[in-house]
Amino acid sequence: MKNSTSMENAGEGNADEGTVRMAGAQTLVRGLEVLTAVAHGPRKLPDLSEALGLTRSTTHRLATNLVELRFLNFTPRVGYSLGPKLLELGHLASRQMNLPRVAHDYLVQLSQQTGDTVHLGIRDADRALYLDKVQGSRRIEISSRIGERQPLRSTGIGKALLLDDSEKSLRQIYEDETVAFPGYRVDETLWLERMHQYQSAGYAFDLEENEDRIRCVAAPIRDAGSNIIGSISVSSAAQYMDDARMKQMVDYVVQTAGAISSEFGWANTIKT
């Protein structure tokens, strides 16, 4: 009897969890329907309620939550309209979708100038996400792939994405990636020292830290507000990328990153 009762209770628990998930999904769908309903202009509560086929109390609850999250605005005697959060998300989505398209020709030109492989990446939460790769003319196999996520602390792309981060943020990233990617050969003190140098210079190096015998020179891409929205790198085998050549590559990489940045409204003086 005890086993039977336990199974029944377990079944009830699973049913309850399923009900909660269904309710959450339904609320999400209704919230999206609210946004769609006001997409073409403000709507007052009675009109919005009728358009959605929901009670006024349910409609008011959904709309109020969306106002609190800034997905909607509410103006007395006017009603509900789309909020600033959607503008932010739309801008970010547009920027991310446009970046590979805008940058690609620059990447091709940079690869032709240097003979090396060129990458484009963005920061995707706690990783560097590769959006484009132009293979160089040298017979070198670099294992990176478009769409893969790589560490921030060990890649040139990743370090360039971190050039505006605070000391606290840099330390946290190093600690987090020590757990996620053990075996990194550069200790925290040296890594932070190098990052401070890169931040001052406006570019970053990967000194065979992410892939054996592969070196990179990287620089950030900025928007009109000088925010880092991506980064590019030139990568090659160490035999073609000694210290002297890495310094030569800085101008090519920084100037190309600056040219791409100008497409997004950036107008600062390019560091070299």
Can you give the pLDDT at residue 270?
43
Q: How confident is the model at residue 2 (pLDDT cuts 50, 70, 90)?
A: very low
Report the distance separating Cα 196 and Cα 192, nearest Å. Answer: 6
Q: How confident is the model at residue 98 (pLDDT cuts 50, 70, 90)?
A: confident
Percentage of the residues of the chain whose pLDDT score is greater than 70: 87
Can you give the pLDDT at residue 40?
85
Neighbours of 228 (CB within 10 A): 18
pLDDT tens digits, residue range 244-264?
A: 999 999 999 999 999 999 998
3-state secondary structure 70-99: CCEEEECCCEEEECHHHHHHHHHHHHHHHH
Helix (H) or strand (E) holding 207: strand 204-207
The packing angle between helices 45-52 and 56-68, to 10°, is: 110
Can you give the pLDDT at residue 112?
97
pLDDT tens digits, residue range 29-76?
A: 898 999 999 988 999 999 999 999 999 999 999 999 999 999 999 999
Across the beta sheet with 228-237, the strand order is 149-150, 127-134, 117-124, 228-237, 214-222, 204-207
Question: What is the rounded (10 degree) CA torsion for 208, 212, 213, 214?
Answer: -60
Report the distance separating Cα 179 and Cα 117, nearest Å. Answer: 29
Residue in the block written with tokens 């401070």: 196
Length of the chain: 272
pLDDT value at 184 more than 80: yes
Entry pTM: 0.67
